[in-house]
Chain A
Amino acid sequence: MAMNVGGGSGPRADINVTPMIDVLLVLLIIFMVITPLTPYGLEALAPQPPKKNQPPPPPDDDRTVVIVIDGRGNYQLNQEPVAKENLGPRLQQIFATRAERVVFVKGDPDLEFQVVAYAIDVAHGAGIDKVGLMTPKIEAGE
């Protein structure tokens, strides 16, 4: 009664793709899981105190740029208050003509780390390759 006349192996003409799809999906998932594991980060410097027997570097206060973040998350470049979204453009403007791109970040201890990370991020985004962290002990000259 059945109509297959072409012998036992007749009707299965197509490849069984199910195992292939399984393997592909497994690979897909593995790669999806592995990719975000590569750690990302921001480079920062912790300036070392000058050696005892060396003279301290000459102060050039007018050229040192410090991003100050106060306890309420307001940003200042040296003494000049800057809005959060203007920080990047302002830094670019300041450093447009400078060869040595160094900036220091000084955050209020009560801040959350992400606020400071944002400032460092913006500084890197403005093309500054050396971001130093100002800590209380550095300020005290230790």
Chain B
Amino acid sequence: MKREKTAAVVSDINVTPMVDVMLVLLIIFMVITPMLSKGQTVEFAKAVNAIAMKEADAEDAILVAVTRDGALYLMPGNTRVGPEEIPAKVSDLLTGRLDKTVYVKSDARAKYQAVEEVVDYLRAAGVDQLGLLTESQAKKQGE
């Protein structure tokens, strides 16, 4: 009676459904991730001493994105703006706010000239606190 019967116990886990679920999730996140980052996607500069800026993610955060080719986008709204439109629009957005920080989301390889220009026009709107968004990079050993 030592023969294997038809109802022999399968001792290993059937991983096929798990793999199915994993693959579906993988695909879902691959599709969703670019959409999650609101507004313009830029390649951030890397910084070791960057601090978390949760407010920059808020719905009403004022953010100017500078893309690699120097185009400017203003959040909220994600509308493309010319540099000279910034003072009027930003001071409109700033009225009645306590936190007058404006975030600048610049591509790492954008010309600094474009960033400088944005800073100049933001100054004209009365902004003096800037948050330059970067990617946080882990501290190297020995630093």
A interface residue numbers (CB < 8 A to B)? 1-3, 11, 17-18, 21-22, 25-26, 29, 33, 37-49, 107-118, 120-122, 124-125, 133, 135-138
Contacts and interface: CB of A to CB of B under 8 A. Distances in A.
B60 interface: no
A97 to B, nearest CB: 22
A46 B47 CA distance: 20
B95 interface: no
A120 B54 CA distance: 20
A121 B54 contact: no
B132 A41 contact: yes
Contact of A43 (B51, B57, B108): B51
Nearest to A44: B130
Given A2-B5, A46-B130, A136-B116, A40 B111 contact: no
A136 B129 contact: no
Residue of B37, B47, B52, B131 with most partner-chain A CB within 10 A: B47
Contacts of A18: 13-14, 17-18
Interface of B: 5, 7, 9, 13-14, 17-18, 21-22, 25-26, 29, 33, 36-37, 45-54, 56-57, 66, 103, 106-117, 119-120, 122-123, 126-136, 143
Contacts of B112: 107-113, 115-116
Contacts of A111: 111-112
8 contacts: A25-B22, A39-B57, A39-B103, A42-B49, A48-B123, A107-B116, A109-B116, A124-B49
Contacts of B14: 18
Contacts of B49: 42, 121-122, 124-125
Contact of A135 (B13, B22, B109, B120): B120
